[in-house]
Amino acid sequence: MAYQSQMLDNWIFLISIGAIVTVLLAGLAMGTPTAYARANAAFPEPILNVTENDGGKQTAVFAGGCFWGVEAVFSHTRGVLSATPGYAGGAANTASYDRVSSGTTGHAEAVQVVYDPQKISYGQLLKIFFSVAHDPTQLNFQGPDHGTQYRSAIFTSNDQQARMARAYIDQLRSARIFSALIVTQVTALPAFYPAESYHHDYLAQHPAQPYIVMYDLPKLGQLRVQFPQLYH
C-alpha cells in the first residue's frame, strides 16, 4: 500500500508540473472555459464561511462531472475523513451506473465528503470544488462527458450549507472569476447512494489510464499547487 501511494504521488508530482498547460490546451481544444485557467491566486476566500464547532463530523455532497476525479481531489484534501463516489438527485431504484449513464434518472454522479470541521470548513471545500475539482461553467457536461448526470451541482444537507453555497456563487459571479456563467445548481439532498465498489478509489487504482492522466491527475496537480497547506 505504501508503494502504491508513493507511485501515485510521483504521478501527481509529474502531472502538476504541466497541469496548467495541459488543461489550458484541453480547454482550447474543446472551445470551453476551464476552471483552472481562471482560478489563480486571486480566487477569493468565501465571505460567508460559518465554522461548525460542535466537534462532530460533517457531510457535504458535490457533483462535478465524472466522480473519479472529484473523489480523488477530496480524498487528498487534509481534513477530509472520507470521499465516496455515488449518485444523488434521483430515486433509489435507478441508482446504478448503467441506469445513471442513460442520463434519464435525475441522478448526478456525485461525491459524499465527510470532513472534520475543526480542520477544514465547508467554505474551504466550496473553494476547492469551484477552483480545482471541476469547471462550474459547463452546463450538463464536464470535458468529454456529456449528459445531465455530469452536471455541476451542490446537494446541501441544511439551510446553512445552502446559504453558504449560494453566497459563494454570487461572490464568484460578482468578482467575474469565470468568463462564462456559473451554472452550478444548489439543491437539497434527497438521498445519497454509494456507487459500485469498482468506482471507489478509481484514480488510485488506475493512475496510468489515459482518461485519468488527461482529465483527473491535473486536478490533483492543481490541488497541490493552489492548496499546498491542504494537500496530502
Q: Which residues are catalytic?
A: 66
CA-nearest of 215, 23, 227 to 125 is 227
Beta bridge partners of 185: 153
Are 12 and 220 in contact by the 8 Å Cβ rule? The answer is: yes
Q: Collapsing DSSP states into helix, strand and coil, what is residue 181?
A: coil
Q: Calculate the alpha carbon distances from 3 to 73, 101, 204, 216 in Å.
A: 20, 34, 12, 21
C-alpha cell at 54: 460542535
55: left (phi over 0), alpha (psi -120 to 50) or beta: left
Strand 192-194 versus strand 141-142 pairing type = unpaired
Are 109 and 100 in contact by the 8 Å Cβ rule? The answer is: yes
